[in-house]
Structure 1
Amino acid sequence: MNDRNLIKLAPHADATEALSGPAAEQVLQQIRDFNQQRVSNLDLQEWRLDGATLSGLNLQRASLRGAQLLNVEIGDADLDGTWLDHAALNGVRFQPRKHTGLSLQGSELLAVHLDQAGFEGANFQQTRIQDASARQGSYSVSNFAGSQIAACDFSGAEFATCSFSGATLRDVRFDGATFSRTNLQSKSFENVSLQGATLSECDLSGADLRSVQLRDAVVNCANFKGANLSGLDLTGAQFIDVNFQGADLRGAQIAKAQFKGCDLNGVLLDRG
């Protein structure tokens, strides 16, 4: 991001106070006026909006770095290539539409609504996401590395070519979700549910999965080399062409799981 390429809006009365009501509408009207001139690369850094609706706005390549958005409705606003790094989003609602190249690196997303929203090439690195509803969303080529995700529901979501490397996951539901070519070498999994999920060509090598629910999951061509699955209930799970070299399956309930074409060299199992 080059700040020199950003267009500044006219200053509002008090930049330290959250804009709502008529004051927010004045700001939004400025944005509409710029949009009519086909200008969207606006400088909205550290702006504070409370209860505003962004429908109809073109914010492509705009910078909202450090912004604070409280109970804001994104609506059909165009956020392609928008910078929301180190921002605070609380109670923000996204519509079921696709956003490309949105950056939320280092931001805080609390109680946001992301159901059925789509993100392509999104940057969630080092982002804190808590109490979010993100059911049936779609994420492609998106980066969650180093993020902290807690008390969130991603049930039925789709992840393609994403990375959760070094992420911390706690009390997160991915039930029925689909992961393909995704790095799931997270720093920690605590009470994470992948029940009925589908994982294809994913990397979980070395991951500590002792607090993960994998019942009825379908896993294809994945890498579990050196992973710790000890004590897990794998009832109904299907593992096809999975690399389990050196994985720990001691105490795991595997009697009703299916293993087809898997590499089990060096797997740790209960004796006897």
Structure 2
Amino acid sequence: MESWTARSTILRPTALRISSILIPSIPSGGCKHSGLASSGFVERQGSVLKMSDSIKYHKEYHGYRKERKNCFKLSYVSSGIAIAALLAILLAVSVVNGSSPQKSELHDGSSLLDMELPGANLSGAHLNRSDFSGSNLTDANLSSSFLLSADLSDSSIDGSRLKGADLTGADLSEAAARQADFSGALMNRSRLQDADLSGANLRGAYLIGANLIGANLSGADLCGADLQEARVSGAILSGAKLQKAIMIGTNLTAADLSGADLSGSILTESRLLGANLSGAVLVDVDLTNANLDSCDLTDADLTRARLFSANLMSSKMKNVLLDEANLVASRLSWADMRGCRLAHGQLSRAELYGTDLSDSNLSGSDFTRSYMMRANMSNADLSNTDLAYADFTEANLSRARLQEAKMPNLDITGANLAGADLTAAVLEYNDMIGTNFHGAKMSRAKMTRLALRDVDMSGVDLHGAELATLLIEDVNLSGANLRDASMNVLYITNVDLTDASLQGLKYDPFTLRYLAAAKLDRAQMSENLLADLGLILNPPET
């Protein structure tokens, strides 16, 4: 009689669940099939023994069900053969039921699907290309084992130890690996989509090119892990530890990284479109050329982050910390950066079209040659900033603090600086057309080589300011304070100085002639200025 083998069989009242049963050939007249019947049902239906390829069974397994269809079909068997075959199977089961393979019996290519192996010691075992799909390996020891291209899909490895294991190309899709230890494991090109790795230890693991789409890595430890070119889109990494992780070219589109710690990690060329990074720690992170379009960075800490040429368009960055961050040539257009802190940052050549930076701290930052058209920086702190050659066309700088800011060659055409504080600011070589300075503080400001056309400077405080080599046309200076200011202009036409304070004003003869043509109703002037203007308006007869 041919030999019979069976593993991990479980007998139930209504059906027999079998795994890895070798069935001998059945005599002619019955079914001609022989070989391996795996994970099926054997049941008596009248006079028919049927192991159907289309039978579906559901297995309760860690909160989810699955369906399998991997049995072959034995049908239209006579009653005698059916009963004989069933008795033979039951005899084999009675001998080996409940047995489990020993470590010494396992080898590369072993078939162990749906096995019950909780707490098994398989450390150092060679199990390359083995099939563990659907198996229970909870709390098993697989440290330093070889599982290249192994199938662990749908398996349970909760709490298992896989430290230093080689899982290159392995399939762990939909596996339950909560609190499992993968530290230092080789998992390059492994498939972990929809796996539950919450709380797992992946410190120093190699996951280059791995598929982690939709995986749950919440609270996992990935410190120092290598995830280059990995696919992590839609994954949950909330509260995960990713300090000094390598994620060059990693796809994290729509991933949840809220509250995660990515300090010192490298994310150059990575994709984080629509990702949730709210409350995340990204101190000293490298996001050079990264794509963070439409991501959520609310309350995140990006202190000293490197975001050179990064795309942050339309991102939510409210209250984000960016002190000393490098945002050179970055794209931040239409981003919401209200209340952010970006002191001493580098933003030269950055694009901030329509960006909302209201109530932000931008003090000491470098905005040279940046593009700030229609940006909202109302009530922002821009003190001691370098705005040379920047474009602030139609920007909102109302009530902004620009004390001692450097503003040479700044374009603020149509900008709103009403109520702004430009104390001791330096404005040189600027064209100001349609700019609103109403009520601004500009005491001790240095304004040289400027062209002011159709500018509202009513109520401006220019006490002690320097206005040199100016072209002033259609400018409203009514109610302005020019006390102790110095004025040396090239051309003035249609200037309104009604109710202005001109006491102590320093001027040259050329400027005086233009002042005489200005509107000076109720202007407050020193006796010297009145006398000089009188000489021009009423010259003595010769």
- Give the TM-score normalised by structure 2: 0.45
1:73 to 261, 264, 273: 261
Give the counterpart letter for 1:29 in structure 2. Answer: A
- CA distance change for structure 1 residues 232 and 49 in 2, over 3 Å: closer, same or farther? same
Give the counterpart letter for 1:11 in structure 2. Answer: S
The answer to whether 1:31 aligns with 2:191 is: no
Residues 117-160 of structure 1: CA deviation (Å, up to 9, x unaligned): 11111000010002211111111110001111122110111111
Tell me which residue corresponds to 1:87: 275
- CA distance change for structure 1 residues 155 and 30 in 2, over 3 Å: closer, same or farther? same
Q: Is the 8 A contact 1:18 1:48 kept in 2?
A: no
Q: Is the 8 A contact 1:19 1:48 kept in 2?
A: no
1:195 to 377, 380, 383: 383
Tell me which residue corresponds to 2:237: 49
Tell me which residue corresponds to 2:437: 249
Partner of 2:407: helix, strand, or coil? strand
Tell me which residue corresponds to 2:199: 21
Q: Is the 8 A contact 1:20 1:50 kept in 2?
A: no
Tell me which residue corresponds to 1:184: 372
Partner of 1:200: helix, strand, or coil? coil
TM-superposed deviation, 1:167:
1.4
Q: Is the 8 A contact 2:417 2:437 kept in 1?
A: yes
Give the counterpart letter for 2:280 in structure 1. Answer: V
Give the counterpart letter for 1:68 in structure 2. Answer: D
Give the counterpart letter for 2:173 in structure 1. Answer: P
Q: Is the 8 A contact 1:134 1:157 kept in 2?
A: yes
Q: Distance in 2 between matches of 1:13 and 1:231?
A: 61
Greater relative contact order (CA < 8 Å, ≥ 6 in sequence): 1
- CA distance change for structure 1 residues 97 and 46 in 2, over 3 Å: closer, same or farther? closer
Give the counterpart letter for 2:352 in structure 1. Answer: F
- CA distance change for structure 1 residues 58 and 232 in 2, over 3 Å: closer, same or farther? closer
Residues 63-107 of structure 1: CA deviation (Å, up to 9, x unaligned): 100001132222333211100010101222223254311111011
Q: Distance in 1 between matches of 2:256 and 2:170?
A: 18
Q: Distance in 1 between matches of 2:229 and 2:197?
A: 20
Q: Is the 8 A contact 2:311 2:330 kept in 1?
A: yes
Instruction: Identify unmatched segments of 5+ residues in structure 2.
Output: 1-168, 177-192, 211-225, 459-477, 479-497, 499-542
Q: Is the 8 A contact 2:374 2:394 kept in 1?
A: no
2:405 to 207, 217, 231: 217
Larger radius of gyration: 2
TM-superposed deviation, 1:192:
1.3
The answer to whether 1:205 aligns with 2:393 is: yes
- CA distance change for structure 1 residues 16 and 232 in 2, over 3 Å: closer, same or farther? same
Tell me which residue corresponds to 1:104: 292
Q: Is the 8 A contact 1:212 1:232 kept in 2?
A: yes
Tell me which residue corresponds to 2:346: 158
The answer to whether 1:120 aligns with 2:296 is: no
Q: Distance in 1 between matches of 2:266 and 2:418?
A: 46
TM-superposed deviation, 1:173:
0.7
Q: Identity of paired residues, percent? A: 21
Q: Is the 8 A contact 2:264 2:286 kept in 1?
A: no
TM-superposed deviation, 1:240:
1.5
The answer to whether 1:137 aligns with 2:325 is: yes
Q: Could you say which structure has the higher strand fraction?
A: 1
Partner of 2:433: helix, strand, or coil? coil
Partner of 1:239: helix, strand, or coil? strand
- CA distance change for structure 1 residues 66 and 218 in 2, over 3 Å: closer, same or farther? same
TM-superposed deviation, 1:162:
0.5
1:11 to 165, 173, 179: 173
Partner of 2:338: helix, strand, or coil? strand
TM-superposed deviation, 1:12:
4.6
Give the counterpart letter for 2:448 in structure 1. Answer: K
Q: Distance in 2 between matches of 1:108 and 1:9?
A: 32
Q: Distance in 2 between matches of 1:83 and 1:160?
A: 23
TM-superposed deviation, 1:226:
1.7
- CA distance change for structure 1 residues 233 and 39 in 2, over 3 Å: closer, same or farther? closer
Tell me which residue corresponds to 1:4: none
- CA distance change for structure 1 residues 39 and 133 in 2, over 3 Å: closer, same or farther? closer
Give the counterpart letter for 2:232 in structure 1. Answer: L
TM-superposed deviation, 1:16:
7.8
- How many residues align? The count is 261
Please provide the CA RMSD for this pair. 2.7
Q: Distance in 2 between matches of 1:143 and 1:9?
A: 39
Q: Is the 8 A contact 1:83 1:104 kept in 2?
A: yes
TM-superposed deviation, 1:174:
0.2
TM-superposed deviation, 1:235:
1.3
Q: Distance in 2 between matches of 1:114 and 1:96?
A: 7
Tell me which residue corresponds to 2:219: none
TM-superposed deviation, 1:251:
2.2
Q: Distance in 1 between matches of 2:423 and 2:256?
A: 45
TM-superposed deviation, 1:189:
2.8
TM-superposed deviation, 1:191:
2.3
The answer to whether 1:64 aligns with 2:64 is: no
- CA distance change for structure 1 residues 95 and 188 in 2, over 3 Å: closer, same or farther? closer
Which has the larger displacement, 262-271 or 140-149? 262-271
Q: Distance in 2 between matches of 1:189 and 1:210?
A: 7
1:262 to 432, 450, 454: 450
